[in-house]
Amino acid sequence: MAYKVLETQTASRDIEVMLAYTESKFGKSAAAALADEIGEKYENLAINPHESEFPHDLWLAKLGYRKLRLEGQTALYLIDEEKKKVVIVHYDTTIPVLTRYDFPLNSINK
């Protein structure tokens, strides 16, 4: 049975910030690509929420949080087995969104 993926208000606000920043720095197409990636990650979570790893922070791991990785970002989420829900709690937006398009391998000085 598929899980329902929900976001807290904090997570929704975090996504708005990430998308706005991405659009302002890299354009509408980059923001749309990020939104698509988020949607794909949510679809995968609905099918298998246990696939993602626990955070390195032992306290968060003991509380049952798992982490979802996006390009340059990490989200924390909880699984409610009884109600078959995944709740995205928070995105780490303390650093700018960086994508694979920002640092092509051939542009890195060795």
pTM strictly above 0.75: yes
Say which CATH number the domain at 18 has.
3.30.2310.20
- Alpha-carbon distance of 76 to 100, in angstroms, equals 22
Number of domains in the chain: 1
Close Cβ partners of 78 (under 8 Å, ≥ 6 residues apart):
63, 64, 65, 66, 86, 87, 89
Its domain, for residue 15, covers: 4-94
**Is residue 16 situated within a structural domain?**
yes
- Alpha-carbon distance of 20 to 16, in angstroms, equals 6
Tens of pLDDT, residue by residue over 26-70, are: 999 999 999 999 999 999 999 999 999 998 888 888 899 999 988
**Is residue 104 situated within a structural domain?**
no
Tens of pLDDT, residue by residue over 67-89, are: 998 877 889 999 999 999 999 99
Closest CA to 15 of 38, 33, 32, 36: 38
- Alpha-carbon distance of 103 to 26, in angstroms, equals 13
